[in-house]
Chains A and B, each alone.
Chain A
Amino acid sequence: MQELFPYLLNGVSVGGQYALIAIGYTLVYGILRLINFAHGDVFMVAGLVMVYATTAMPMYLALPLVIAATVVLGFVIERAAYKPLRTAPRMSLMISAIGVSYLIQNLAFYITGGVPQPVTTPIPWISDDILVLGASTKRVTIVTPILTIALVVLLVYLIQKTKIGMAMRAAARDFETAQLMGVKINSVISMTFVIGSFLAAVGALLYFTNYPSVAITSGAMPGLKAFVAAVFGGIGSIPGAVVGAFVIGLCEEVIKGLGYTTFSDAFTFALLIVVLCVKPTGLFGEKVTDKV
Chain B
Amino acid sequence: MSEQVLKVENVTMQFGGVVAVDNLNLEIDRGEIVALIGPNGAGKTTAFNVVTGVYQPTNGAVWFQGEKIIENHPQGKMKALYKGEHAGEYTHALAPTPDRITRMGMARTFQNIRLWKSQTVFDNVLTAMHCRTTGNLFTATFRLNRKEEAQQRRRVEELLEEVGLTDLRNERADALPYGKQRRLEIARALATDPKLLLLDEPAAGMNPQETDELTAFIGEIRGKFGLTVFLIEHHMDLVMDISDRIYVLDFGRLIAEGTPAEIQNNQRVIDAYLGVAEDA
Chain A in direct contact with chain B (Cβ < 8 angstroms): yes
CA distance A292 to B49 in the complex (A): 9
Cβ of B54 within 8 Å of any chain A Cβ, yes or no, is yes
* Chain A residues positioned under 8 Å from B55 (CB to CB): 292
**Residue-by-residue, is B29-71 near A (CB-CB < 8 Å gives 1, otherwise 0)?**
0000000000000000000010000110000000000000000
A61 to B54, CA, bound (A): 61
The minimal Cβ–Cβ distance linking B18 to chain A, given in whole angstroms, is 13
Number of interface residues of A (CB under 8 A): 1
Q: How many residues of B contact A (CB 8 A)?
A: 3
B78 → A minimal CB distance (Å)? 20
Within 8 A of B (CB), among A243-292: 292
Q: How far is the CA of A54 from the CA of B29 in the complex (A)?
A: 83
Instruction: Give the distance in Å from the alpha carbon of A211 to the alpha carbon of B178 in the complex.
Output: 63
CB distance from A289 to the nearest CB of B (A): 9
The smallest C-beta distance from A292 to any residue of chain B, in angstroms, reads: 5
Residues of A within 8 A of B49 (CB): 292
Give Cα distance in the complex from A292 to B55, angstroms.
9
Nearest A residue (CB) for B114: A292
A239 to B55, CA, bound (A): 34
Taken together as a complex, chains A and B put the C-alpha atoms of A292 and B45 apart, in Å, by 11
Provide the residues of chain B in CB contact with A292, threshold 8 Å: 49, 54-55
Nearest Cβ on chain A to B54's Cβ, whole angstroms: 5
With both beta carbons as reference points, the residue of chain B lying nearest to A292 in the complex is identified as B54
Chain B nearest Cβ from A91, distance in angstroms: 14
User: In the complex, what distance in Å separates the CA atom of A292 from the CA atom of B54?
Assistant: 8
How far, in whole Å, are A292 and B52 apart by their CA atoms in the complex? 13
Alpha-carbon distance between A292 and B56 when the two chains are bound, in angstroms: 13
A210-228 interface with B by 8 A CB criterion = none
Select from chain A the residue with minimum beta-carbon distance to B98: A292
Q: How far is the CA of A127 from the CA of B276 in the complex (A)?
A: 78
Residues 188-223 (chain A) with a chain B CB within 8 angstroms? none
Rounded to whole angstroms, the CA-CA distance of A292 and B20 in the bound complex is: 15
A292, B112: Cα distance in complex, Å: 11
Query: From A289, which residue of chain B is reached at the shortest CB distance?
Result: B15
CA distance A292 to B97 in the complex (A): 14
By Cβ-Cβ distance, the 3 closest A-B pairs, closest first, are A292-B54, A292-B49, A292-B55
A residues in contact (CB < 8 Å) with B: 292
A-B contact pairs, 3 of them (CB 8 A): A292-B49, A292-B54, A292-B55
